[in-house]
Amino acid sequence: MGSFSFLHWLIFAIVVSPIVLGVLLLGLQKPVRIIHRESGLAKTGYIGYSWTYLLFGWFVPLIRGELGIAVLHLVITLVSAGISQLIFPFIFNRQYMQRMLTAGWHLDPMDANYALAQSTLGIQNAGFTV
């Protein structure tokens, strides 16, 4: 029960690498307010590396109300033996925001992360015009 061997350090590095890469490449997850065009309901979307997806996996789309996406991610997780859990945190928030913006939601121009969300998502004039 002494020291770590090379194999232990290698396994540790593989397990921790998604977290390190997420921080270095995409930064911390940042909230951005989105508003539904017709109803005026507001909710929080996120941009950047999805820490919640890294920790909770396919439960994240389930909790956000996307049953079909949750089932798809569960199947992909099972088929990939969990490897997808290390890949999806890099892309989940972007995909989620794109689904919301095409389903009648828009970025709140008064939000502090509005400009960052626009540039991250690669969109122009995402605000709601009255």
Residue-range domain boundaries for the chain: 6-121
17 — pLDDT class (breaks 50, 70, 90): confident
Please state, in angstroms and rounded to a whole number, the distance separating the CA atoms of residues 96 and 98. Answer: 5
What is residue 22's predicted lDDT score, i.e. its pLDDT?
67
What integer is the mean pLDDT of 42-69?
A: 92
The SS3 of residue 64 is coil
What is residue 25's predicted lDDT score, i.e. its pLDDT?
67
Strand blocks (E) in the chain: 30-36, 42-47, 105-107
**Residue that wins the pLDDT comparison between 30 and 10:** 30
Give the rounded distance of the alpha carbon of 31 from its chain centre: 10
What is residue 72's predicted lDDT score, i.e. its pLDDT?
97
- Can you give the pTM of this predicted structure? 0.75
What is residue 60's predicted lDDT score, i.e. its pLDDT?
95
Please state, in angstroms and rounded to a whole number, the distance separating the CA atoms of residues 107 and 94. Answer: 13
